[in-house]
Amino acid sequence: MKLIILDRDGVINQDSDAYIKSLDEWIPLPGSIDAIARLSKAGWTVAVATNQSGIGRGYYDEATLQAMHDRLRQLVAEQGGKVDLIRYCPHAPDAGCDCRKPLPGLFRQIADDLGQPLDGVPTVGDSLRDLEAGCAVGCTPYLVRTGKGANAEHKTLPAGTRVFDDLAAVVDHLLEA
Ligand SMILES: O=P(O)(O)OC[C@@H](O)[C@H]1O[C@@H](OP(=O)(O)O)[C@@H](O)[C@@H](O)[C@@H]1O
Ligand SMILES: [Mg+2]
Ligand SMILES: [Zn+2]
Protein backbone atom coordinates (compact mmCIF):
# COMPACT_ATOMS: atom_id res chain seq x y z
CA MET A 1 0.00 0.00 0.00
CA LYS A 2 1.32 3.42 -1.01
CA LEU A 3 0.39 5.44 2.07
CA ILE A 4 1.10 9.02 3.07
CA ILE A 5 0.25 10.73 6.35
CA LEU A 6 -0.33 14.48 6.20
CA ASP A 7 -0.47 17.10 8.91
CA ARG A 8 -3.42 19.44 8.31
CA ASP A 9 -2.94 23.04 9.45
CA GLY A 10 -0.03 24.63 7.63
CA VAL A 11 0.24 21.76 5.14
CA ILE A 12 -3.20 21.34 3.57
CA ASN A 13 -4.74 24.63 4.68
CA GLN A 14 -3.59 27.95 6.04
CA ASP A 15 -2.72 27.93 9.74
CA SER A 16 -3.19 30.67 12.32
CA ASP A 17 -1.74 31.30 15.76
CA ALA A 18 -5.37 32.01 16.70
CA TYR A 19 -6.35 28.47 15.64
CA ILE A 20 -8.62 27.53 12.73
CA LYS A 21 -11.93 27.99 14.53
CA SER A 22 -14.55 27.95 11.76
CA LEU A 23 -15.23 26.64 8.27
CA ASP A 24 -14.65 30.15 6.92
CA GLU A 25 -11.16 30.13 8.46
CA TRP A 26 -10.35 26.81 6.79
CA ILE A 27 -8.66 27.95 3.57
CA PRO A 28 -6.75 25.46 1.40
CA LEU A 29 -3.16 26.37 0.60
CA PRO A 30 -2.39 26.86 -3.11
CA GLY A 31 -1.90 23.53 -4.84
CA SER A 32 -2.68 21.38 -1.81
CA ILE A 33 -6.05 20.02 -2.91
CA ASP A 34 -4.69 19.21 -6.36
CA ALA A 35 -1.64 17.56 -4.79
CA ILE A 36 -3.79 15.29 -2.64
CA ALA A 37 -5.95 14.40 -5.65
CA ARG A 38 -2.85 13.63 -7.76
CA LEU A 39 -1.56 11.23 -5.11
CA SER A 40 -4.95 9.60 -4.72
CA LYS A 41 -5.38 9.14 -8.48
CA ALA A 42 -1.92 7.59 -8.59
CA GLY A 43 -3.09 4.91 -6.15
CA TRP A 44 -1.88 6.40 -2.88
CA THR A 45 -3.87 6.07 0.34
CA VAL A 46 -4.07 9.52 1.93
CA ALA A 47 -4.37 9.88 5.70
CA VAL A 48 -4.40 13.01 7.84
CA ALA A 49 -3.12 13.24 11.42
CA THR A 50 -3.89 16.55 13.11
CA ASN A 51 -3.74 18.10 16.56
CA GLN A 52 -6.97 19.97 17.23
CA SER A 53 -6.49 21.23 20.78
CA GLY A 54 -8.85 24.08 19.94
CA ILE A 55 -11.65 21.64 20.74
CA GLY A 56 -10.27 20.87 24.19
CA ARG A 57 -9.65 24.56 24.72
CA GLY A 58 -13.30 25.31 23.86
CA TYR A 59 -12.58 27.43 20.77
CA TYR A 60 -14.74 25.29 18.44
CA ASP A 61 -16.62 21.98 18.57
CA GLU A 62 -16.46 18.61 16.84
CA ALA A 63 -19.29 19.54 14.47
CA THR A 64 -17.29 22.51 13.22
CA LEU A 65 -14.23 20.33 12.78
CA GLN A 66 -16.33 17.80 10.87
CA ALA A 67 -17.56 20.58 8.55
CA MET A 68 -13.94 21.47 7.75
CA HIS A 69 -13.14 17.83 7.00
CA ASP A 70 -16.28 17.44 4.89
CA ARG A 71 -15.13 20.45 2.86
CA LEU A 72 -11.65 18.94 2.45
CA ARG A 73 -13.11 15.65 1.26
CA GLN A 74 -15.51 17.45 -1.10
CA LEU A 75 -12.78 19.57 -2.71
CA VAL A 76 -10.49 16.57 -3.21
CA ALA A 77 -13.39 14.50 -4.62
CA GLU A 78 -14.14 17.30 -7.12
CA GLN A 79 -10.57 16.78 -8.39
CA GLY A 80 -11.15 13.03 -8.69
CA GLY A 81 -9.29 12.06 -5.53
CA LYS A 82 -10.11 10.82 -2.04
CA VAL A 83 -9.03 11.51 1.53
CA ASP A 84 -9.10 8.01 2.98
CA LEU A 85 -8.68 8.66 6.70
CA ILE A 86 -8.60 11.60 9.09
CA ARG A 87 -7.52 11.11 12.70
CA TYR A 88 -7.33 14.00 15.13
CA CYS A 89 -6.41 14.73 18.72
CA PRO A 90 -9.13 16.92 20.29
CA HIS A 91 -7.38 17.21 23.63
CA ALA A 92 -5.89 20.17 25.39
CA PRO A 93 -2.17 19.87 26.21
CA ASP A 94 -2.87 19.13 29.89
CA ALA A 95 -5.23 16.22 29.14
CA GLY A 96 -2.38 13.71 29.24
CA CYS A 97 -3.56 11.84 26.16
CA ASP A 98 -1.37 9.63 23.97
CA CYS A 99 -2.59 11.08 20.67
CA ARG A 100 -1.31 14.66 20.81
CA LYS A 101 1.66 15.05 18.52
CA PRO A 102 4.62 14.68 19.10
CA LEU A 103 3.26 11.52 20.67
CA PRO A 104 2.55 8.93 17.93
CA GLY A 105 -0.97 7.91 18.97
CA LEU A 106 -2.67 9.26 15.83
CA PHE A 107 -0.17 7.42 13.66
CA ARG A 108 -0.79 4.19 15.55
CA GLN A 109 -4.54 4.67 15.05
CA ILE A 110 -3.95 5.05 11.31
CA ALA A 111 -1.74 1.96 11.20
CA ASP A 112 -4.37 -0.05 13.10
CA ASP A 113 -7.26 1.25 10.95
CA LEU A 114 -5.42 0.31 7.75
CA GLY A 115 -3.69 -2.82 9.04
CA GLN A 116 -0.53 -1.28 7.64
CA PRO A 117 2.89 -0.90 9.32
CA LEU A 118 4.28 2.61 8.95
CA ASP A 119 7.94 1.83 8.29
CA GLY A 120 9.12 4.17 5.55
CA VAL A 121 5.69 5.76 5.09
CA PRO A 122 6.18 9.43 4.16
CA THR A 123 4.73 11.92 6.57
CA VAL A 124 4.48 15.63 5.77
CA GLY A 125 4.35 18.32 8.42
CA ASP A 126 5.04 21.99 9.08
CA SER A 127 6.06 21.53 12.71
CA LEU A 128 8.83 19.56 14.40
CA ARG A 129 6.25 17.72 16.48
CA ASP A 130 4.57 16.39 13.34
CA LEU A 131 7.83 14.81 12.19
CA GLU A 132 8.74 13.53 15.65
CA ALA A 133 5.39 11.76 15.95
CA GLY A 134 5.80 10.04 12.58
CA CYS A 135 9.46 9.15 13.12
CA ALA A 136 8.55 7.51 16.42
CA VAL A 137 6.74 4.84 14.39
CA GLY A 138 9.15 4.60 11.47
CA CYS A 139 7.80 7.18 9.02
CA THR A 140 10.04 9.07 6.59
CA PRO A 141 9.83 12.79 7.42
CA TYR A 142 9.12 15.63 5.01
CA LEU A 143 8.94 19.25 6.17
CA VAL A 144 7.16 21.92 4.15
CA ARG A 145 7.93 25.63 4.42
CA THR A 146 4.25 26.61 4.51
CA GLY A 147 2.46 27.28 7.81
CA LYS A 148 5.01 27.10 10.62
CA GLY A 149 7.50 25.25 8.44
CA ALA A 150 9.76 28.19 7.63
CA ASN A 151 10.43 28.47 11.36
CA ALA A 152 10.68 24.74 11.97
CA GLU A 153 13.29 24.42 9.19
CA HIS A 154 15.88 26.10 11.44
CA LYS A 155 15.34 23.66 14.30
CA THR A 156 17.15 20.35 14.71
CA LEU A 157 15.08 18.05 12.51
CA PRO A 158 14.90 14.24 12.58
CA ALA A 159 17.68 12.59 10.58
CA GLY A 160 16.80 12.26 6.93
CA THR A 161 14.16 14.99 6.89
CA ARG A 162 13.63 16.33 3.37
CA VAL A 163 12.49 19.97 3.10
CA PHE A 164 10.21 21.23 0.32
CA ASP A 165 8.43 24.53 -0.29
CA ASP A 166 4.94 23.05 -0.06
CA LEU A 167 2.85 19.89 -0.33
CA ALA A 168 2.65 20.16 -4.11
CA ALA A 169 6.46 19.99 -4.31
CA VAL A 170 6.55 16.93 -2.03
CA VAL A 171 3.97 15.22 -4.24
CA ASP A 172 5.91 16.15 -7.39
CA HIS A 173 8.90 14.43 -5.81
CA LEU A 174 6.97 11.33 -4.72
CA LEU A 175 5.26 10.89 -8.07
CA GLU A 176 8.42 11.29 -10.12
CA ALA A 177 10.11 8.42 -8.28
O1 LIG B 1 -0.85 21.40 12.41
P2 LIG B 1 -2.00 20.55 12.93
O3 LIG B 1 -1.54 19.46 13.88
O4 LIG B 1 -2.90 20.02 11.81
O5 LIG B 1 -2.97 21.55 13.79
C6 LIG B 1 -2.40 22.56 14.60
C7 LIG B 1 -3.56 23.33 15.17
O8 LIG B 1 -4.38 22.49 15.91
C9 LIG B 1 -3.13 24.42 16.13
O10 LIG B 1 -2.14 23.88 17.00
C11 LIG B 1 -1.80 24.83 18.03
O12 LIG B 1 -0.83 24.22 18.85
P13 LIG B 1 -1.24 23.77 20.36
O14 LIG B 1 -2.22 22.62 20.21
O15 LIG B 1 -1.87 24.95 21.04
O16 LIG B 1 0.09 23.33 20.99
C17 LIG B 1 -1.22 26.11 17.44
O18 LIG B 1 0.00 25.79 16.79
C19 LIG B 1 -2.19 26.70 16.40
O20 LIG B 1 -1.55 27.76 15.72
C21 LIG B 1 -2.60 25.65 15.40
O22 LIG B 1 -3.63 26.17 14.56
MG1 LIG C 1 0.58 21.95 11.19
ZN1 LIG D 1 -5.19 13.46 22.22
17 in catalytic set: no
Distance 176 CA to ligand 1 centre (A): 31
The reported pLDDT for the residue numbered 169 is 98
Instruction: Please say whether the beta carbons of 5 and 48 come within 8 A.
Output: yes
Spell out which residues line ligand 1, taking CB within 6 angstroms: 7-10, 15-17, 19-20, 50-54, 93, 101, 127
Q: Which atom of ligand 1 is nearest to the CA of 54?
A: 8
What domains are defined for the chain? 2-176 (3.40.50.1000)
Kindly list the strands in the beta sheet with 162-164, ordered across the sheet, starting from the edge strand earlier in the chain.
Answer: 85-89, 45-51, 3-6, 122-125, 140-144, 162-164
From the list 7, 15, 130, 166, the catalytic residue is 7
Distance 137 CA to ligand 2 centre (A): 18
The reported pLDDT for the residue numbered 177 is 66
- ipTM of model: 0.96
> Average pLDDT of each block of 10 consecutive residues along the chain (177 residues)?
98 98 98 98 98 98 98 98 98 98 98 98 98 98 98 97 98 93
Closest CA to 54 of 17, 11, 107, 105: 17
